[in-house]
Amino acid sequence: MKNTPIQLHVVTRIVAFIILIFSIFLFFAGHNNPGGGFIGGLMTASALVLLYLSFDLKTIKRVLPFDYAYVIGAGLLLATLTGVAGMFFGFPYLTQFFEYFQLPILGETELTTALPFDLGIYLVVVGFTLLVILTVAEDDS
Amino acid sequence: MSTLHIIPLAPFLFAFLIPLFYKKFRHIHTGWFVLPLPLIIFIYLLQFLPLGGTAFQPVEVTVAWVASLGIDFTVYLDGLSLLFALLISGIGTLVVLYSIYYIANKRDEPLNNFYVYLLMFMGAMLGVVLSDNLIVLYVFWELTSLSSALLIGYWYHKERSRYGAQKSMLITVTGGFAMLAGFTLLYLMTGTFSVQEIIAMSDQIAASPYFVPAMILVLAGAFTKSAQFPFHIWLPDAMEAPTPVSAYLHSATMVKAGIYLVARLTPLFGGQAEWFWIVTGFGLLTLLWGSVSAVRQKDLKGILAFSTVSQLGLIMSLLGMGSAAFHYDVIDGESLYTVAILAAVFHLFNHATFKGSLFMVVGIIDHETGTRDIRKLGGLMAIMPVTFTISLIGVASMAGLPPFNGFLSKEIFFEGALNITTLDMFNVETLGFLIPVVAWIASVFTFVYSMMMFFQTFTGKHKPEELPKHAHEAPVGMLISPAVLGLMVIVFGLFPNMLAYTVIEPAMQSILPGLLGEGEQFYVNIYHWHGLNTELLMTMGVVLIGTALFLNFDKLQQTAFYLGERDPLNGAYDNGLTGLISGAQYVDGVQMTGKLRHYFTYMFVFLVAVLSYALIRTNAFAIDFANTAQISPYMFFIILALSLATIAVPFMTKRVPAIILVGIIGFLVALIFVVIRAPDLALTQLLVETVMVVLFLLVFYHLPELRKESFKPVFKWSNLLISLSVGAVVTITGLSAHAFSHGHDISPISDYFVENAYALAGGENIVNVILVDFRGLDTLLEVFVLGIVALGVVVLIKYKASGREEV
């Protein structure tokens, strides 16, 4: 390949990981600080868009062999089922619970059902953004 | 459910069996199976006739239908209903018999259709005259319109039949709707749909402001159905129907439904000047117009159609005149104005007999010679002697000659018209003299067309070369029905008092209730010879002038008046209909341009109009700067930059700079979120804007080669004006909403979230807690929206239809 943008590739490799890590941070920070599933998802999608922009579609597809339609489906399923869980114990749909646990390594940690719900949102947002952008980009007609 | 309920329903139920008979017994004419039904009904109804000379007692039976709305199927049988029901079933029997011989049982003749429609009509008509509930009456009323249109269009392959069916349908159904509105007003005034109960409250209705509207609306229904001027134009075109249908529907029964309604509601509306003048005036106008138009016709059925119009007008005007009896009458047993009602009832009966027989006779002539054109016919007297005899009776009765029943009813008509001039109210003093004059002129024309019809057909020279068929006398079966009706014309002409006690008196009692004391009844005595009075002189004048006019018929034939056969009002109807269609198409074409920008204009203009009307109406132009926040210094710069970027967007002539500007606006909005301390919003806005710009660029890059063109916004003052007004209205709405919210004590719900976010949901980020916990359902569904959008994009782009697949 002629004119391979070496600098771009190198920088992308580093930056993309930083963005990904930041996006995961945002996702987990959501409950107590700015962030959450939506922002985290968008940030992850941005990192992946950056990868797609600097490398060609085929390469990234080989590295990340996801069908984003399934990612959306998984996210929706997760978010929907989180709400259903509480119903088995007689609570209204989408009732969220939280409790503090003493976990190894992490110490006292708050575990909440809002997290899988947020994860569902995260997955849908990632899937949505990439599916739309890739579909439009791949359209060569 | 009593036997009386079965009478109107039986024809409908029986109609279900007709296709079975038609298919199973193909070689027997289907009409034979139909024939017993009206005969049984007729015989059953005969037993209600008061033969003992006692007053008729009405019968009332009720079956609940929609009880919660006060709609009950109440059958009310009094003198008036009985008269009509007897006419319907009696003439129905004769018409079915006649149709068996008239419509041949050919392979491709849809006899099953004919008899199903006919039975439908018969049942509907019986329902109209028997039901006491206005809504049930309306249902049957519309069923008569429907079945009548079906019968007119029986030979649907003929264009004229379809035209006639459509015309009659449009006119009668329009009237029917008006009538329904009138009935609704009556219900509003009284709270009941029962005719008898409404009549009992007639004083209360007369005082109501709805009285005149209700009356006019109900009359619109009656006038369209009974072919009163100017709604009569459907009747001549309905002559495309088979002749039995014309004889049954358009002479004896359906066209009298309006007469029935007017007679039935006379106790309700009668006694008021409006009713008197509208009914009498339209009746007389129809009488004159119909008789004058009939003279111009060359088609025998055309003459009969206009003749029917004119005779219906006569009956209608008599009902109008008779309503005066409600005011003050029966002074010392001398009933002056009830005579008009007597004439109406008597002529109603007479008209049904002679017009029915005349239609059947015309059908025979048509059937045996192949034409109905009076210019081609002639000299049939010797060829068709029986037909000739029946015609002579019918025509003489129609013209009002003694000793037939038409003479008697015409005499009483003149008497009623003369009596009414003595009425010293309703402004009759000024215009009343016109009533007998118009009646007399119309009678002259009636005499002329009767003569015309008779002499042109039966006398003169026989012209076999002009006739499509070899003329000969009709089969006996076809002659039975007109002969029976002709016989009735003679019998009731010679012995009219047979009808007086049995039919006319009870009917008068129903039309004019409350005028007689308990146990009294009308005493009707009809004589041929009253002595040499004004009425007899008028009849002699009619005969003399009519004969003179007819003798000069050759001269009349040359005039333009005679040549213009079509009713001039047809032009109004045809132009009105085509105008309605082309007008609707024009409006549609102007408004529905198919251009999105026009529809946006409509929507925005509508939005601005509604919002500004609401603002003005509630006087909401309040601006209140209390409770507004301090504006930070950054905000000024951000807003300034934002405004500049926004204003610049419409001036961009290339797409890419426009996208970039939109991106800038998005980032500035994110900055605003930062300033107003909404970190989650700011983050989301930044990221969404980034992704959107990428998407925009991708999409624009993919715009097809051919359509690629530089982006030049078209400037229009109207667009500017609309945009500015939308902005202004929305801004004012926002400002006034702020001002008004300040005036009311509304505490924001956010306090609850601030207090409980950590305690209840274990989170410190209130925005996130609201999104996933307090209002999780919204978030879930928004995520679903995202999923659907993504799938939509995939489907649109990857699975583009090539346009060749079968859907």
d(CA A139, CA A129): 16
Residues listed for chain B: 807
Q: Is B51 exposed, middle or buried (0-12, 13-18, 19+ CB in 10 A)?
A: exposed
Confidence at residue B332, expressed as pLDDT on a 0 to 100 scale: 44
Q: Is residue A86, in this structure, part of any structural domain at all?
A: yes
Q: What is the nearest CA distance from A6 to chain B, expressed in angstroms?
A: 22
Closest listed residue to residue B522, CA positions, set B269, B335, B317, B332:
B335
Please determine, for residue B501, whether its predicted confidence score (pLDDT) is greater than 80.
Answer: no
d(CA B201, CA B267): 10
Query: Mean per-residue pLDDT for B40-46?
Result: 90
Please determine, for residue B466, whether its predicted confidence score (pLDDT) is greater than 60.
Answer: yes
CA B682 from chain centre, in angstroms, equals 64
Bridging pattern class, strands A98-103 and A107-112: antiparallel
What are φ and ψ of residue B475, in 5° steps? -65, 160
CA B533 from chain centre, in angstroms, equals 45
More confident residue, B162 or B105: B162
Q: Pick from A39, A45, A135: which is nearest to B683 by CB?
A: A39
Least confident of B187-191, B320-324, B461-465: B461-465
d(CA B543, CA B536): 11
Task: Spell out the residues 6+ positions from residue B132 whose beta carbon is closer than 8 angstroms to its own.
Answer: B60, B74, B75, B76, B194, B195, B196
Task: Give the CA distances from residue B77 to residues B23, B48, B95, B520, B547, in Å, rounded to whole numbers and listed in that order.
Answer: 37, 9, 24, 19, 44
To the nearest whole percent, how much of chain B has pLDDT over 70?
Answer: 90
Residue in chain A closest to B791 (alpha carbons) equals: A69
Concatenated DSSP letters of B235-296 = HHHGGGS-HHHHHIIIIISGGGHHHHHHHHHHHHHTTSHHHHHHHHHHHHHHHHHHHHHHHT
CB contact under 8 A, B762 and A46: no
Q: Looking at the 3D structure of chain A, how many domains does it have? A: 1
With cut-offs at 50, 70 and 90, classify the pLDDT of residue A128: very high
Bridge partners of B331, per DSSP, are: B334
**Type and span of the H or E element at B198:** helix B195-200
Task: Give the CA distances from residue A80 to residues A36, A85, A118, B595, B789, in Å, rounded to whole numbers and listed in that order.
Answer: 17, 9, 11, 42, 18
CB contact under 8 A, A45 and B793: no
* A&B contacts, CB < 8 Å: 135
What are φ and ψ of residue A28, in 5° steps? -75, -30
Question: Does any CB of chain A come closer than 8 Å to the CB of residue B699?
Answer: yes
Confidence at residue B428, expressed as pLDDT on a 0 to 100 scale: 67
B774, B783, B785, B791, best to mutate vs chain A, most A CBs in 10 Å: B783
To the nearest whole percent, how much of chain B has pLDDT over 90?
Answer: 21
Q: What is the nearest CA distance from A18 to chain B, expressed in angstroms?
A: 16
CB contact under 8 A, A33 and B765: yes
Task: Spell out the residues 6+ positions from residue B205 whose beta carbon is closer than 8 angstroms to its own.
Answer: B186, B189, B190, B198, B211, B214, B268
More confident residue, B408 or B807: B408
Q: Which residue has the tokens 């016919």?
A: B377
Please determine, for residue B111, whether its predicted confidence score (pLDDT) is greater than 90.
Answer: no
Lookup: tokens for B226: 């009974």
With cut-offs at 50, 70 and 90, classify the pLDDT of residue B427: low
Please determine, for residue B179, whether its predicted confidence score (pLDDT) is greater than 90.
Answer: yes
Query: Mean per-residue pLDDT for B631-648?
Result: 89
Lookup: tokens for B20: 């079975």
Closest listed residue to residue B454, CA positions, set B412, B397, B404:
B397
Domain range annotation of chain B: 281-558, 760-806
Lookup: tokens for B246: 């014309």
d(CA B172, CA B231): 9
Query: Mean per-residue pLDDT for B543-561?
Result: 77
Lookup: tokens for A42: 């968008």
- Residues A69-117 have pLDDT tens digits of 899 999 999 988 888 887 888 888 877 777 777 777 777 777 777 888 8
Arithmetic mean of pLDDT over chain A: 84
Considering only residues 634 to 693 of chain B, which have any Cβ-Cβ distance to chain A shorter than 8 Å?
Answer: 679-680, 683-684, 687-688, 690-691
Please determine, for residue B177, whether its predicted confidence score (pLDDT) is greater than 90.
Answer: yes
Q: Is A61 exposed, middle or buried (0-12, 13-18, 19+ CB in 10 A)?
A: middle
Task: Give the CA distances from residue B284 to residues B87, B343, B400, B545, in Å, rounded to whole numbers and listed in that order.
Answer: 25, 15, 17, 20
Residues of B in contact with A96 (CB under 8 A): 761, 772-773, 776
Confidence at residue A120, expressed as pLDDT on a 0 to 100 scale: 92
d(CA B230, CA B223): 9
Q: Is residue A1, in this structure, part of any structural domain at all?
A: no
Residues of A in contact with B773 (CB under 8 A): 96, 114
What are the residue ranges of helices labelled H in B47-194?
A: 79-102, 111-130, 134-152, 159-190
Please determine, for residue B705, whether its predicted confidence score (pLDDT) is greater than 70.
Answer: no
Distance in Å from the first CA to the final CA of chain A:
25
Residues of A in contact with B666 (CB under 8 A): none
Three-class SS state of B362: helix
Task: Spell out the residues 6+ positions from residue B173 whose beta carbon is closer than 8 angstroms to its own.
Answer: B142, B145
CB contact under 8 A, B762 and A98: yes
What are φ and ψ of residue B64, in 5° steps? -70, 140
Residue in chain A closest to B795 (alpha carbons) equals: A135
B680, B765, B768, best to mutate vs chain A, most A CBs in 10 Å: B768
d(CA A22, CA A33): 13
More confident residue, B562 or B243: B243
Please determine, for residue B640, whether its predicted confidence score (pLDDT) is greater than 90.
Answer: yes
- Which range of residues forms the domain containing residue A126? 6-138
Contact predicate B736/B622, CB 8 Å? yes
> What is the value of pTM for the model shown?
0.80
Confidence at residue A44, expressed as pLDDT on a 0 to 100 scale: 92
CB contact under 8 A, B783 and A117: no
CB contact under 8 A, B790 and A26: no
More confident residue, B55 or B122: B122
Lookup: tokens for B344: 């109406």
Please determine, for residue B747, whether its predicted confidence score (pLDDT) is greater than 60.
Answer: yes
Confidence at residue B435, expressed as pLDDT on a 0 to 100 scale: 83
Please determine, for residue B669, whether its predicted confidence score (pLDDT) is greater than 90.
Answer: yes
Q: What is the nearest CA distance from B796 to chain A, expressed in angstroms?
A: 10
Three-class SS state of B522: coil
Least confident of B29-33, B345-349, B419-423, B513-517: B513-517
Question: Does any CB of chain A come closer than 8 Å to the CB of residue B790?
Answer: yes
Lookup: tokens for B47: 């037993």
Which residue type occupies B381?
A: M
Residue in chain B closest to A92 (alpha carbons) equals: B777
With cut-offs at 50, 70 and 90, classify the pLDDT of residue B93: very high
Question: Does any CB of chain A come closer than 8 Å to the CB of residue B703?
Answer: no
Please determine, for residue A55, whether its predicted confidence score (pLDDT) is greater than 70.
Answer: yes
Residues of A in contact with B702 (CB under 8 A): 136, 139
Which residue type occupies A61?
A: K
Query: Mean per-residue pLDDT for B739-765?
Result: 79
Which residue type occupies B35?
A: L
Confidence at residue B519, expressed as pLDDT on a 0 to 100 scale: 54
d(CA B327, CA B340): 14
Please determine, for residue B3, whether its predicted confidence score (pLDDT) is greater than 90.
Answer: no
Residues of B in contact with A76 (CB under 8 A): 783-784, 787
Residue in chain B closest to A42 (alpha carbons) equals: B687
Lookup: tokens for B412: 């009483």
More confident residue, B185 or B325: B185
Question: Does any CB of chain A come closer than 8 Å to the CB of residue B571?
Answer: no
CB contact under 8 A, B699 and A136: yes
Calculated CA dihedral for residues B382, B387, B393, B395, nearest 10 degrees: -90
- Of these ranges, B287-301, B456-470, B557-571, the one predicted with the greatest mean pLDDT is B287-301
CB contact under 8 A, A43 and B687: yes
Bridge partners of B76, per DSSP, are: B60
* Cβ atoms < 10 Å from Cβ of B426: 21
Question: Does any CB of chain A come closer than 8 Å to the CB of residue B702?
Answer: yes
Residue in chain B closest to A96 (alpha carbons) equals: B773
Arithmetic mean of pLDDT over chain B: 84
Closest listed residue to residue B59, CA positions, set B87, B84, B88, B80:
B80
Lookup: tokens for B98: 């006649």
Q: Is B56 exposed, middle or buried (0-12, 13-18, 19+ CB in 10 A)?
A: buried
Q: Which residue has the tokens 């409350």?
A: B514
Query: Mean per-residue pLDDT for B453-464?
Result: 80
Closest listed residue to residue B246, CA positions, set B161, B178, B174:
B161
Query: Mean per-residue pLDDT for B772-784?
Result: 88
Contact predicate B343/B412, CB 8 Å? yes
Confidence at residue B497, expressed as pLDDT on a 0 to 100 scale: 79
d(CA B426, CA B275): 10
d(CA B134, CA B252): 23
CB contact under 8 A, A129 and B684: no
Residues of A in contact with B685 (CB under 8 A): none
d(CA B626, CA B619): 19
